[in-house]
């Protein structure tokens, strides 16, 4: 007998009236109208059943710290970095953990069950690393947390020399951090940025790790670090294990150069992560009008065969005062900024916070097919486009077949002459 059976579900690919069977935390059956005995049954009532949301780019060590020690008055990237530098000496492990755990609660409630978070390794105390490793352990029963060793101040810009931050980054990897990160555009020169990419990719190859590089996060049309990242990926045989995050300079690059760059990225098997909410907020700050919005070329990357995902990046921290762990909000903004408003393109945006993001993290047994982990979200929507339009309520969230969160359906009661008694904004 099954542990759980879900009936009358719609799947993201359009299949309807589907039944899914769960046994021992995995899907074991999928089909239309299956009649299988189960201890527990859930009627999806024609609503959308999706694999869980995945955030491929976040900064959990800074989350929910908005206003500490002061507010970012300009709202700019550079003031946010400076503000983080002011906050770091005041950080404690307990405070980082408390904020991170609270954010993980928000995430689960929104059906977000896997997060890749960058953690600053430029503090020699590695307080944030220790704190998030403990958080990773605590949330493991209900949320997958992947940590990136991120030299926020620049790998080669240590006050005691170019090896200072490299050594702390190696220490973080030795403590159990999963992924090698970097920020080449924040090094002192283009040459030093390229050197940092080579050093970090070599380190990842030696240790058998993935790479996720903050890359070309500027409005500079001449920034070229993603080209170096693609080259090093191929040179070291890292295809499929390397991600270029942000890539905002591609918004401003010459079209001819981009026509060369896109096939290089596809050939190297790079993943790309855009962060719509933050990219359009922080970029273009030196412009008057026309004002650039800074998000990378998502439709063009997808057309070239590059796997593209959307990340949240920041929630109530020195860089961004808003956010709520809602990946549908991220995708909703992404489709507007990228002008991806065809039916097919909007579904691509839904994929950018589910299956594409799962590929970035290298998640195993992710999905709705038999053999996959029974991690899923029942949404108050009948298809992915409606889910994006409504930022749909997460009616039920399951991890390994166990209900971990539920929210009442969004319904407004009406008292209008000659009109229905309620509305749910659907259809």
Angstrom distance (rounded) from CA 332 to CA 391:
8
Q: Higher confidence at residue 85 or residue 422?
A: 422
Which CA distances in Å does 239 have to 22, 54, 211, 424?
34, 21, 10, 45
Q: How confident is the model at residue 72 (pLDDT cuts 50, 70, 90)?
A: very high
Q: Where are the alpha helices (DSSP H) in 110-209?
A: 127-139, 164-175, 190-207
Decide: pTM greater than 0.85: yes
Q: Which CATH number fits domain 58-361: 1.10.10.60, 3.40.1010.10, 3.20.20.140, 3.30.565.10?
A: 3.20.20.140
CB atoms within 10 A of CB 87: 16
Averaged pLDDT, 33-41 = 95
What pLDDT sits at residue 124? 94
Token pair for 212:
């996720």
Asked if 130 is an active-site residue, the reply is no
Q: Write down the domain spans for the chain.
A: 2-51+367-413, 58-361
Averaged pLDDT, 114-127 = 97
Token pair for 330:
């991220």
Q: Are 197 and 206 in contact (CB under 8 A)?
A: no
Averaged pLDDT, 159-163 = 90
Task: Exactly one of 217, 227, 232, 386 is catalytic; name it.
Answer: 217
Averaged pLDDT, 333-351 = 98
Calculate what percentage of the chain has a pLDDT beyond 90: 96
Whether the predicted pLDDT of 76 surpasses 90 = no
What pLDDT sits at residue 112? 99
Q: What is the pLDDT of residues 272-291, one digit of tens each?
A: 999 999 999 999 999 999 99
Q: Are 142 and 404 in contact (CB under 8 A)?
A: yes
Whether the predicted pLDDT of 427 surpasses 90 = no
How high is the mean pLDDT of the chain? 97
Whether the predicted pLDDT of 167 surpasses 90 = yes
Averaged pLDDT, 340-348 = 98
Angstrom distance (rounded) from CA 63 to CA 87:
12
What pLDDT sits at residue 425? 97
CB atoms within 10 A of CB 341: 11
Angstrom distance (rounded) from CA 145 to CA 163:
28
Whether the predicted pLDDT of 142 surpasses 90 = yes
Chain centroid to CA 85: 24
Averaged pLDDT, 339-367 = 98
Whether the predicted pLDDT of 108 surpasses 90 = yes
Per CATH, the number for 2-51+367-413 is 2.30.40.10
Angstrom distance (rounded) from CA 170 to CA 277:
31
Whether the predicted pLDDT of 81 surpasses 90 = no
């Amino acid at each position: 007998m099954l542990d759980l059976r879900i009936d009358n579900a719609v799947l993201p690919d359009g299949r309807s009236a589907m039944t899914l069977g769960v046994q021992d935390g995995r899907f074991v059956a999928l089909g239309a109208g299956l009649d299988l005995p189960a201890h527990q049954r859930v009627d999806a009532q024609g609503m959308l059943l999706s694999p869980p949301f995945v955030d491929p780019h976040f900064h959990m060590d800074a989350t929910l710290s908005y206003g500490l020690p002061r507010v970012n008055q300009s709202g700019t990237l550079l003031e946010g970095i400076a503000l983080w530098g002011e906050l770091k000496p005041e950080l404690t492990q307990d405070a980082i953990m408390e904020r991170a755990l609270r954010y993980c609660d928000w995430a689960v409630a929104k059906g977000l069950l896997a997060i890749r978070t960058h953690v600053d390794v430029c503090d020699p105390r590695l307080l944030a690393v220790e704190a998030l490793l403990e958080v990773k352990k605590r949330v493991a029963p209900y949320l997958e947390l992947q940590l990136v060793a991120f030299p926020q101040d620049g790998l080669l810009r240590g006050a005691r020399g170019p090896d200072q931050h490299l050594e702390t980054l190696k220490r973080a990897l030795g403590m159990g951090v999963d992924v090698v990160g970097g920020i080449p555009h924040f090094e002192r020169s283009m040459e030093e940025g390229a050197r940092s990419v080579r050093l970090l990719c070599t380190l990842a190859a030696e240790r058998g790790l993935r790479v996720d590089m903050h890359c070309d996060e500027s409005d500079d049309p001449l920034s070229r670090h993603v080209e170096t990242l693609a080259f090093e990926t191929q040179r070291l045989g890292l295809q499929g294990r390397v991600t270029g995050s942000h890539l905002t300079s591609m918004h401003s690059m010459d079209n001819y150069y981009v026509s060369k760059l896109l096939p290089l990225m596809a050939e190297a098997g790079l993943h790309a992560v855009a962060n719509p909410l933050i990219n359009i907020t922080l970029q273009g700050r030196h412009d008057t009008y026309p004002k650039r919005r800074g998000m990378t070329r998502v439709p063009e990357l997808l057309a070239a065969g590059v796997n593209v995902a959307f990340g949240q990046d920041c929630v109530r921290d020195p860089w961004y005062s808003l956010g709520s762990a809602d990946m549908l909000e991220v995708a909703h903004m992404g489709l507007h900024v990228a002008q991806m408003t065809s039916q097919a393109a909007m579904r691509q945006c839904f994929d950018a916070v589910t299956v594409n993001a799962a590929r970035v993290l290298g998640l195993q047994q992710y999905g709705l097919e038999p053999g996959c982990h029974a991690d899923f979200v029942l949404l108050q929507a009948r298809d992915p486009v409606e889910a994006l339009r409504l930022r749909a309520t997460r009616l039920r969230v399951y991890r390994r077949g166990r209900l971990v969160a539920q929210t009442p359906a969004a319904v407004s009661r009406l008292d209008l002459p000659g009109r229905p008694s309620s509305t749910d904004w659907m259809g």
